[in-house]
Structure 1
Amino acid sequence: MNIEVTGIVGFLVLILDIWAILNIVNAGASMGSKLVWILVILLLPVIGVILWLLFGPRAGRA
């Protein structure tokens, strides 16, 4: 089964990934932790953002 993410959905995933990576870079976490999260998001774009939102560092978030 082929699943393609195109058009507006692909654009939204790209925006979410960029937003998450920028938040990770600006976080106060260690460099190793930042690198792992960025790699997870780059390798698994949709699932990576969801995992980061659920399990990522909570610093700076209410």
Structure 2
Amino acid sequence: MLEVTGLGGLIILILDIWAIVSIIGSSASTGSKVLWTLLVLLLPVVGFLIWLVAGPRSAPRHI
């Protein structure tokens, strides 16, 4: 059981880091980036889910 909870925590950590990197790379304003980052850091699971649904998107890549 301990391994399952540790693995779940690791997965949440990886997803939160991915969310923060995406937030920083988005074209949103600095204030929005700070607020989204704080939300993801303070509420890791709920904040990630809210960001996934309504958060700022990464800047489009130009080829």
Short-chain TM bin:
0.7 to 0.9
Match status 1:37 vs 2:30:
no
Distance 2:17 2:45 in 1: 12
Which structure has more relative contact order (CA 8 Å, sep 6+)? It is 2
Instruction: Spell out the pairing of 1:1-62 with structure 2 (5 A cutoff).
Output: 6-58=5-57, 60=59
Alignment coverage as a number of residue pairs: 57
Q: Tell me, what secondary structure is at the counterpart of 1:6?
A: helix
Distance 2:58 2:19 in 1: 14
Q: Scaled by the length of structure 2, what TM-score is found?
A: 0.81
| Kept in 1: contact 2:15–2:48 (CA 8 A) | yes
Q: What is the alpha-carbon distance in structure 2 between the residues aligned to residue 22 and residue 56 of structure 1?
A: 12
Q: Which structure 1 segments of 5+ residues have no match? A: none
RMSD: 1.8
Question: Is there any run of 5+ residues in structure 2 with no aligned partner, and where?
Answer: none
Larger radius of gyration: 2
